[in-house]
Structure 1
Amino acid sequence: MLNFKQPQLRDVIEAPADIAAARTSLAHLYQQKRQLFTDKAHWAHNSAAVYEFGASYTRLFMDKLWEAFNDDPVIGDSPLLDHLWLQVVQQDHGTAVNINYADEAGTNHLLLSIDQALNMQAHLTAHELPVLADFTATKPQYLLTEKMFPALLQLIKLLYAAKLHFLSPKETVLQPVAGLHFGVKFPDAKTFTATLKVSNNVAVPVKINVEIGHYDVRSFKVSDETDNDVTTVGKPQVSAGGTFSWEAQHLPELTNQTLTLTVEAVAIDTLPCLDNLFVTASGNNILMRTGAQVGSYQLELPNQKELGLTVNSQDETLTLHYPDTDTQIYELSKTYPFFGEWLEETLKTATNV
């Protein structure tokens, strides 16, 4: 249900095969036209007609996607392309583009989908893409042949470049190492407290210190003798030596009152996943060191590149960093099997955020 004589659609059709640009343009046109479409009573609750309306725009996006795959030198010259076919399907909140693989017997396998393809919430969902277990098993097996893998990796990289991402690190090894983000199990928090009586000397700032060592601050609070929260009148700071300070200018309304600083913090160094990585890396003669900031770590890999980790105790997450932003888990694990083994074990108990 598209009129290809419309100038905006002609622009999309005739433009170079840029996945991000095509999706952005078509999503804008679709949302604009959909509003006009559903303003009419006979279409507003006509789900079949509304779906077909959205599917028309999604099919055009699908065709531009196929054009981009064909134009890419890695994908276009690969035997993988001869086995792929794309399909628009209906979802509860929009339409999706399925990327299917037909095996030699003619059986179709759904590799991945672009869910809610023309919505702001568009994302990738893996279905029959490889996971870590496919390569760490005694007899690794996967649907595609080794010759098809470069094209499959490139296909994912094109989608990521168009800001279409998987939502979970557990879905597949075909997603970038850089930015991989997931929840990990933290030890119980420890509470540190300190008190200070506010001086009547207006020239003396109020400063409360408490030693927290290598613990990372999850939350803190400053209260007066009647348990009123006065945290926001001062500013916190943590020294390199592990001293947490809360400082404020003289507080005349609190003169001669005793303030209590309460800090809730966790020992990041005792995280099992970090201990496991340290041991695994050491066994492969790779140094793991702490970074300049609390909760940051680096592994100096033999390829002269640095694998970084950042632990956030407030939301209990771990984030990976890597200088090559499009290097995928599969690629790094193939070069350094210990990384894949560690990540597989860590993700077994990980929570996604």
Structure 2
Amino acid sequence: MLNFKQPQLRDVIEAPADIAQVRTNLARLYQQKRQLLTDKAHWAHNDAALFEAGASYTRLFMDKMWEAFNEDKLIGDSALIEHLWLQVVQQEHGTAVNVNYADEAGENHVLFAIDQALHVQAHLTAHELPVLADITDEAPDYLINEKMFPALLQIIKLLYAADLRFRSPKETILQPVNDLHFGVKFPDAKTFTATLKVSNNVAVPVKINVEIGHYDVRSFQVVDETGNDVTTIGKPHVSASGTFSWEAQHLPELTNQTLTLTVEAVAIDTLPCLDNLFVIASGNNILMRTGEQVGSFQLELPNKQELGITVNSQDETLTLHYPDADTQIYELAKTYSFFGEWLEATLKTAIIV
């Protein structure tokens, strides 16, 4: 129930169909309206009335989003738009917009939803969007024909530009390769230790070194003879050759104390998913090389674009990087089947973070 003569609503209706801006403006207006309602006893716990208020603002957002789809030339001129319809549905925490596809038999399929559409935590959730198996030879055909895919990809790109994103790379191949982020299984950590007795020469900084090679540091600690943690009084550094150093200015209270440095680190080079990528890439005559930073790797693809991988041993995650922020998994996997093969195998055991 909206009064379209309200100036702020008129501004939204008449403004360009910018999905991000429309959602921001309507979310603000809805929160103001909800606050006015919940301040009154007869509305405060009236769930049906509160839902309808949220649904009204969400429907306006849905209509402006539909306007944006139709104004986009790729989407508006496509056969796909003739099969799509949008729907506002109730959720436990707010409202959602379902993007439905009507097949040739008139049966409806929810492709994906914008969950909590007017909430700060709004996100995309895939329902019947394609996954990696849908583009392999063994898998049955996806319900949307390939001629419609460019328009479907463009819809996702518009929503990502509005900061509406899928939460998991497992959900669908219709999401960007760049910044794809997920947890992977790491090998057990190895502990490295070194000790140093602090001299009585106050002019000499305290510096403890330990060789960790190609291992990546997960944590480290420095303690004195009585077990007191003195880690924060110094600064760490890892050299290109794999020497971990902890250095501090000489402090009088440390004189003649034996300090112990303990470093917990993991061998990133032995990650199964990276070994698998190296083998698959090599089989396709693509070089995989290590980057300047520990835990970074690059593949120079035949299209002269670089696929980057960053591994973080502290939170045990892997992140993909690609120069074109709009390129989706579907597009890269169709061009380079080895990428889809590797990603499918890796995501089977991935932990979503």
Give TM class, smaller chain. over 0.9
Give matches, 1:58-69, under 5 Å. 58-69=58-69
Aligned position for 1:18? 18
1:117 alignment partner, SS class: coil
Q: Distance in 2 between matches of 1:251 and 1:273?
A: 45
2:49 alignment partner, SS class: helix
CA deviation vs aligned residue, 1:136-189 (integer Å, no higher than 9, x gap): 242441010111111000000000000000000000000000000000000000
Give matches, 1:1-353, under 5 Å. 1-353=1-353
CA deviation vs aligned residue, 1:317-350 (integer Å, no higher than 9, x gap): 0000000001000000000000000000000000
User: 256-265 or 136-145, which moves further after superposition?
Assistant: 136-145
Q: Distance in 2 between matches of 1:35 and 1:199?
A: 66
Name the amino acid aligned to 1:290.
T
> Is contact 2:133-2:139 (8 Å) kept?
no
Any unmatched runs of 5+ in structure 1?
A: none
1:33 alignment partner, SS class: helix
Q: Distance in 2 between matches of 1:274 and 1:349?
A: 13
Question: Shift in Å at residue 38 of structure 1?
Answer: 0.7
Q: Distance in 2 between matches of 1:92 and 1:194?
A: 55
TM-score, normalised with respect to structure 2: 0.99
Q: Distance in 1 between matches of 2:235 and 2:32?
A: 47
1:310 alignment partner, SS class: strand
Q: Distance in 2 between matches of 1:255 and 1:48?
A: 72
> Is contact 2:186-2:316 (8 Å) kept?
yes
User: 195-204 or 164-173, which moves further after superposition?
Assistant: 195-204
Question: Shift in Å at residue 37 of structure 1?
Answer: 1.4
Name the amino acid aligned to 1:328.
Q
Q: Distance in 2 between matches of 1:136 and 1:294?
A: 34
1:303 alignment partner, SS class: coil
- Percent sequence identity over aligned pairs: 84
TM-score, normalised with respect to structure 1: 0.99
Q: Distance in 1 between matches of 2:176 and 2:32?
A: 33
Q: Distance in 2 between matches of 1:244 and 1:351?
A: 30
CA RMSD of aligned residues (A): 0.7
Name the amino acid aligned to 1:62.
M
Question: Shift in Å at residue 35 of structure 1?
Answer: 1.1
Q: Distance in 2 between matches of 1:247 and 1:346?
A: 39
**Aligned length in residues:** 353
Name the amino acid aligned to 1:201.
N
2:54 alignment partner, SS class: helix
Q: Distance in 1 between matches of 2:209 and 2:136?
A: 49
Name the amino acid aligned to 2:82.
D
Any unmatched runs of 5+ in structure 2?
A: none
Q: Distance in 1 between matches of 2:261 and 2:61?
A: 57
Name the amino acid aligned to 1:157.
K
1:346 alignment partner, SS class: helix
CA deviation vs aligned residue, 1:261-296 (integer Å, no higher than 9, x gap): 000000000000000000000100011000000000
CA deviation vs aligned residue, 1:231-278 (integer Å, no higher than 9, x gap): 111000000000000000011112111111000000000000000000
2:148 alignment partner, SS class: helix
1:52 alignment partner, SS class: helix
1:226 alignment partner, SS class: coil
1:42 alignment partner, SS class: helix
Name the amino acid aligned to 1:33.
K
Q: After TM superposition, which residue ranges in structure 1, 4 or more long, deviate above 6 angstroms? A: none
